[in-house]
């Protein structure tokens, strides 16, 4: 699929923001006063900024509020409802910490659960799509959740937690890639099933279905070369996981921790680009497109 910058920004930043809100709500850190204000401000800028970025990919952004009404059947709607609930609850919890130095633990636990629920709902938007076999796996929500918690731990300054979570997230990332590379072939979907002509022989495209481009081609058909994808995967692993662990093991305090966060964000942005660019939508088979 063609990676939209708004969706990459959304999935990268909102995951970090809600990950930080989780650790704040869980009570792993309970900063008060101005320190607490800075932590919550960072979390809200990332979470809300990411959510706002996602609206730029909507065909009709002015209708975004209607998405909240379909929570019974739509993971997108559930994500929106969970996000708003998490932000409201954590705002109340944060106000107690920042202004009164009071930690209302039950409220924090609820906010932490809603934050994780938001990330899970975001992942399920993609994991439930039968039309993209690469995404349709329990590894998709596992990847989103581990990355959110890992990034949140980095932002929260929980270095030992981050050092433990980074290798776990890297293993989930590698497993997601390995499983996804053969997902389309294992799905049984082919040009024969896409056209419905398999019963009479092996079809091949004589002419493209359209003389020009259309919405489906713009959004869902994108081929990434193996060599290009391999380089990006190496960069994603190096910057997203390996380099942050190395930096956290060095002396330097806030400087090395800040560099670890920056490196992690760059690596995850590359990973997110691949998440969409390598997504082989089955509609591409109808247009005669194959993986590179």
Residues 133-153, mean pLDDT to the nearest whole number: 97
Task: Examine the pLDDT at 246 and tell me if it is beyond 70.
Answer: yes
* Residue 285 banded pLDDT, cuts 50, 70, 90: confident
Task: Examine the pLDDT at 292 and tell me if it is beyond 50.
Answer: no
Is 91 found in the same domain as 19?
yes
User: 160: buried, middle or exposed (CB in 10 Å: 19+, 13-18, 0-12)?
Assistant: exposed
Is 270 found in the same domain as 169?
yes
Q: pLDDT per residue over 24-43, tens digit each? A: 999 999 999 999 999 999 99
Q: What is the pTM of this model?
A: 0.92
Task: Examine the pLDDT at 158 and tell me if it is beyond 50.
Answer: yes
Predicted pLDDT of residue 211: 67
Residue 140: inside a domain:
no
Is 168 found in the same domain as 69?
no
Residue 268: inside a domain:
yes
Is 167 found in the same domain as 244?
yes
Among 85, 109, 128, where does a domain finish? 128
Residue 150: inside a domain:
no
Task: Examine the pLDDT at 233 and tell me if it is beyond 60.
Answer: yes
More confident residue, 203 or 278: 278
Among 109, 128, 147, where does a domain finish? 128
In SS3 terms, the chain reads as: CCCCHHHHHHHHHHHHHHHHHHHHHHCCCCCCHHHHHHHHHHHHHHHHHHHHHHHHHCCCHHHHHHHHHHCCCCHHHHHHHHHHHHHHHHHHHHHHHHHHCCCCHHHHHHHHHHHHHHHHHHHHHHHCCCCCCCCCCCHHHHHHHHHHHHHHHHHCCCHHHHHHHHHHHHHHHHHHHHHHHCHHHHCCCCHHHHHCCHHHCCCCCCCCCCCCCCHHHHHHCCCCCHHHHHHHHHHHHHHHHHHHHHHHCCCCCHHHHHHHHHHHHHHHHHHHHHHHHCCCCCHHHHCCCCCC
For helices 5-26 and 105-127, what crossing angle results, to 10°? 150
Is 76 found in the same domain as 27?
yes
Residue 149: inside a domain:
no
Is 57 found in the same domain as 168?
no
Predicted pLDDT of residue 247: 96
Is 172 found in the same domain as 275?
yes
Q: Which percentage of the chain shows pLDDT scores above 90?
A: 64
Looking at the structure of the chain, the number of domains it has is 2
Is 120 found in the same domain as 226?
no
Residue 151: inside a domain:
no
Residues 234-245, mean pLDDT to the nearest whole number: 97
Is 162 found in the same domain as 124?
no
Predicted pLDDT of residue 204: 75
Residue 78: inside a domain:
yes
Residue 142: inside a domain:
no
Is 32 found in the same domain as 96?
yes
Residues 72-96, mean pLDDT to the nearest whole number: 95
Domain that holds residue 84: 1-128
Task: Examine the pLDDT at 219 and tell me if it is beyond 90.
Answer: no
Residue 82: inside a domain:
yes
Task: Examine the pLDDT at 55 and tell me if it is beyond 90.
Answer: no
Residues 147-164, mean pLDDT to the nearest whole number: 96
Average pLDDT across the chain, whole number: 89
Is 118 found in the same domain as 25?
yes
* Residue 92 banded pLDDT, cuts 50, 70, 90: very high
Is 227 found in the same domain as 106?
no
């Amino acid at each position: 699929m063609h990676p939209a910058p708004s969706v990459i920004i959304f999935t990268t930043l909102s995951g970090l923001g809600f990950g930080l809100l989780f650790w704040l709500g869980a009570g792993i850190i309970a900063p008060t006063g101005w320190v607490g204000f800075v932590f919550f401000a960072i979390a809200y800028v990332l979470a809300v900024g990411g959510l706002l970025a996602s609206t730029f990919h909507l065909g009709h952004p002015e209708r975004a509020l209607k998405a909240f009404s379909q929570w019974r059947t739509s993971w997108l709607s559930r994500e929106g409802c969970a996000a708003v609930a998490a932000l409201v609850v954590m705002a109340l919890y944060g106000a107690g910490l920042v202004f009164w130095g009071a930690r209302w633990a039950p409220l924090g636990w609820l906010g932490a659960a809603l934050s994780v629920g938001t990330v899970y709902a975001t992942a399920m938007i993609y994991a439930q799509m039968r039309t993209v076999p690469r995404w349709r796996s329990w590894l998709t929500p596992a990847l989103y959740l581990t990355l959110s918690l890992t990034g949140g731990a980095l932002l929260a300054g929980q270095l030992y937690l981050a050092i433990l979570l980074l290798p776990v997230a890297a293993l989930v990332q590698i497993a997601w890639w390995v499983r996804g590379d053969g997902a389309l072939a294992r799905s049984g979907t082919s040009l024969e099933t896409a056209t419905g002509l398999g019963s009479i022989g092996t079809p091949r495209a004589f002419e493209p279905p359209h003389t020009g481009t259309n919405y489906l081609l713009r959004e869902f058909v994108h081929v990434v070369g193996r060599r290009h994808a391999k380089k990006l995967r190496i960069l994603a692993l190096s910057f997203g996981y390996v380099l942050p662990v190395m930096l956290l093991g060095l002396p330097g305090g806030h400087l090395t921790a800040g560099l670890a966060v920056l490196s992690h964000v760059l690596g995850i942005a590359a990973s997110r680009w691949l998440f969409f660019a390598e997504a082989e939508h089955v509609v591409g088979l109808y247009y005669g497109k194959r993986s590179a």
